[in-house]
């Protein structure tokens, strides 16, 4: 799949997730190798009102979404892949008033399970603010009820 096709699928996937719209998540970059989302800084996701540091839960949502959507980079056809488990290690707090980027990649794809990993950073990917690893369940390409969603996300190429 071309980068453009993956980027567009990722954008349509993201657009279907209401909470991600509330957070203002955007697709920053997408390729067969992985996906980067952007979480804009906003006062509503602050966890510590004194320092203005973003809540860890918002970072978790960013990374869960990034890992979940990174499955479109690895799969030829869209599949619903719910999270089985997720672990996040916080290296240091995010700096206030700056956006956070979340990169994720699928490092192993089996017929049933996708293993994904990634990291969150602000300016420098070499100085991550959090590492994440998670597993996702492949529900197959013909899950009842998701046909319309699949059409919506795959777009005209479906």
Q: Which is nearer to other proteins, 17 or 75 (CB)?
A: 17
Q: Which is nearer to other proteins, 32 or 47 (CB)?
A: 47
Q: Which is nearer to other proteins, 4 or 21 (CB)?
A: 21
CB of 30 to other proteins, least distance (A): 19
Angle, helices 56-69 vs 3-15, to 10°: value is 130
Q: Which is nearer to other proteins, 49 or 111 (CB)?
A: 49
Q: How many other β-carbons are positioned within 10 Å of the β-carbon of residue 10?
A: 24
- Can you tell me the distance from the alpha carbon of 72 to that of 154, in angstroms, rounded to the nearest whole number? 10
CB of 55 to other proteins, least distance (A): 4
CB of 22 to other proteins, least distance (A): 5
Q: Is 128 exposed, middle or buried (0-12, 13-18, 19+ CB in 10 A)?
A: buried
Which positions touch other proteins (CB under 8 A)? Answer: 16-20, 22, 43-50, 54-58, 60-65, 68, 80, 82-93, 145-146, 149
CB of 156 to other proteins, least distance (A): 20
Q: Which is nearer to other proteins, 32 or 93 (CB)?
A: 93
Q: For residues 15 and 21, is the Cβ–Cβ distance under 8 A?
A: yes
- 3-class state of residue 3 by DSSP: helix
- Can you tell me the distance from the alpha carbon of 119 to that of 132, in angstroms, rounded to the nearest whole number? 6
CB of 1 to other proteins, least distance (A): 23
Q: For residues 7 and 27, is the Cβ–Cβ distance under 8 A?
A: yes
């Amino acid at each position: 799949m071309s980068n453009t096709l993956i980027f567009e699928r990722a954008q349509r996937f993201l657009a279907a997730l209401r909470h991600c719209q509330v957070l203002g998540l955007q697709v920053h970059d997408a390729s067969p190798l992985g996906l980067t989302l952007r979480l804009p800084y906003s006062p509503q996701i602050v966890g510590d009102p004194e320092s203005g540091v973003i809540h860890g839960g918002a970072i978790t949502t960013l990374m869960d979404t990034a890992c979940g959507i990174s499955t479109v980079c690895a799969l030829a056809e869209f599949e619903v892949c719910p999270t089985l488990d997720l672990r996040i290690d916080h290296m240091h707090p995010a700096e206030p008033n700056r956006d956070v980027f979340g990169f994720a990649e699928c490092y192993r794809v089996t017929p049933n399970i996708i293993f994904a990993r990634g990291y969150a950073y602000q300016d420098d990917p070499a100085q991550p603010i959090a590492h994440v690893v998670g597993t996702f369940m492949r529900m197959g390409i013909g899950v009842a009820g998701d046909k319309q969603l699949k059409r919506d996300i795959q777009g005209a190429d479906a």
